[in-house]
Amino acid sequence: MASHAHTSEASCIESFRASVAPALGDRTVADQLCSIGEYFALSPDEQFPASIDKDHLVYLASGAAKLVSLEHPPLDAQTRGHILGFHFADDIVSILRKPGGGSSLTALTHIELVAFSAEEFLDIAQADPALLRSVLIKSLDSLQRTRTRMIRIGHQTARQRIAGFLVNMAERICGCMSGPCEIALPMGRSDIGDSLGLTIETVSRQFTELRKSGLISTPGRGIVGLSDIDALKCEAGL
């Protein structure tokens, strides 16, 4: 077991190195960054970090997770935080502290990640501007996706939100940008609704309506077939 864990850790560290490799001008900087990365393997519903004591940069090596905003103290016993976005393998995610709360990454599937102290990471990475730029672009991409989604949903109907969500997931999970596509969603309808500002009942109703329209099929649990991504883009107003 220890040997398997060590192999997984080494593999994830190398995945991070490969992810930023095009920007690496100084191998010493890469080695220093890899040396401060901490490997974690989480089961579904496990959270990182367990406590918010510092800012982190997290490289998601495998699996799917949701970034959740946290309130301290929670507003009520049922409050679990609002979903800011969903993340997949090769994403770099900023997990930051803030007054009254912060954010955390919660596993949707079994995930492996490499976590870095943001302060230590930036101290080392500044010696290689190309690398620093590459990492910041990856991290800012997720922030831009969140910002764009929040702006759009304020002007979209429930049907448009679900259609847009499915288009986005097809691209991010399968790399599909047109034509038919089948995706395995790692998140449930409750999480989908939370991320889009919809109730689970509304999400289910919109799935049913899109299915009746022939735009999607739901052949199995978590499996969604998209008959025509371009048609869904039109539904979403994209």
| Last residue within a domain, chosen from 148, 179, 210 | 148
Residue-level pLDDT at 138: 78
Same domain, residue pair 121 and 186: no
Per-residue model confidence as pLDDT tens digits over 3-27: 345 558 888 888 888 887 665 556 7
Q: Which of 130, 148, 166 corresponds to the end of one domain?
A: 148
Residues 75 and 164 occupy one common structural domain = no
CA atoms 8, 13, 19, 21: torsion sign: negative
Q: Based on the domain organization, do 124 and 55 belong to the same domain? A: yes
CATH number for the domain including 70? 2.60.120.10
Question: Which CATH number do you get for residue 171?
Answer: 1.10.10.10
Q: Are residues 60 and 141 in the same domain?
A: yes
- What's the mean per-residue pLDDT of the chain? 85
Q: What is the domain count for the chain? A: 2
Over 80: is that where the pLDDT of 102 sits? no
Q: What is the pLDDT of residue 71?
A: 67
> Residue range 99-109: average pLDDT?
83
What pLDDT is stored for residue 24 in this prediction? 55
pLDDT band at 212 (very low <50, low <70, confident <90, very high): very high
Q: DSSP letters of the chain?
A: -HHHHHHHHHHHHHHHHHHHGGG---HHHHHHHHHH-EEEEE-TT-EE-SS--S-EEEEEEESEEEEEEEESS-SSTT---EEEEEEETT-EEEE-EETTEEEEEEESS-EEEEEEEHHHHHHHHTT-HHHHHHHHHHHHHHHHHHHHHHHHHTT--HHHHHHHHHHHHIIIII---SS-EEEE-SS-HHHHHHHHT--HHHHHHHHHHHHHTTSEEEEETTEEEES-HHHHHHHHT-
Task: Say if residue 162 is in the same domain as residue 225.
Answer: yes
Q: What integer pLDDT is reported at residue 150 of this predicted model?
A: 73
pLDDT digits (tens, 9 = 90+) for 66-86: 999 876 544 444 445 789 899
* 33 and 110 both lie in a single domain: yes
Average the pLDDT over each of 8-22, 134-148, 175-189, 208-222 and give the range with the smallest value.
134-148
Q: Can you give the residue range of the structural domain that contains 52? A: 2-148
Give the residue, 24 or 187, on which the prediction is more confident.
187
Same domain (yes/no): 163, 122: no
Q: What is the pLDDT of residue 7?
A: 58
pLDDT value at residue 6 = 53
161 band by pLDDT with thresholds 50, 70 and 90: very high
> Do 48 and 116 fall into the same domain?
yes
Q: Both 179 and 130 in a single domain?
A: no
Q: Are residues 27 and 139 in the same domain?
A: yes
Q: What is the pTM of this model?
A: 0.85
Q: Which of 148, 183, 214 is the last residue of a domain?
A: 148
Does residue 83 share a domain with residue 162? no
| Residues 107, 203 within the same domain | no
